[in-house]
Structure 1
Amino acid sequence: MATNPPIGDGHRKGAVRSRSQTKTSSGHWAKRDADTGRFIDVKTSSKAPFKGVRREKKR
């Protein structure tokens, strides 16, 4: 049984495991697939990071 009730309340418990996010040079956040390394989505509506997606460590 999932631990995310009720449905439609706008949040989740825990992170999305198969994705990570990084900040682009323009200041927007980009979501990346952890398996292939390809970028999935870029958040252009606001400069806030995606909710529930882990951040990549800076090297």
Structure 2
Amino acid sequence: MAKNRPYGDGHRIGAVRDRSQTQTPSGHYVKRDADTGRFIDVKTSDKTPFKGVRREKK
């Protein structure tokens, strides 16, 4: 996983590894495992992308 030091400063150093994200037709972002291709998580709180996770090309 990504480094996140110093703790509590609110940002991440580097990207989250082995993860990517794509946008659903409804506008929500879905996190996907790069190794298996399975969906891991859907961000339903708002329609902004996950922080630190690379985006897939359309």
TM-score (structure 1 length as normaliser): 0.85
> Alignment partner of 1:45: what SS?
coil
The runs of 5 or more residues in structure 1 that have no matched partner are none
Higher fraction of strand: 1
CA distance in 2, matches of 1:5, 1:16: 14
CA distance in 2, matches of 1:4, 1:28: 25
Matches within 5 A, 1:1-59: 4-58=4-58
1:35 deviates by 0.3
How many residues align? The count is 56
What is the aligned-residue RMSD (CA, Å)? 1.3
Tell me the percent identity: 80
1:7 deviates by 1.3
Q: Give the number of the structure whose alpha-carbon radius of gyration is greater.
A: 1
Amino acid in the other structure paired with 1:33: D
TM-score (structure 2 length as normaliser): 0.87
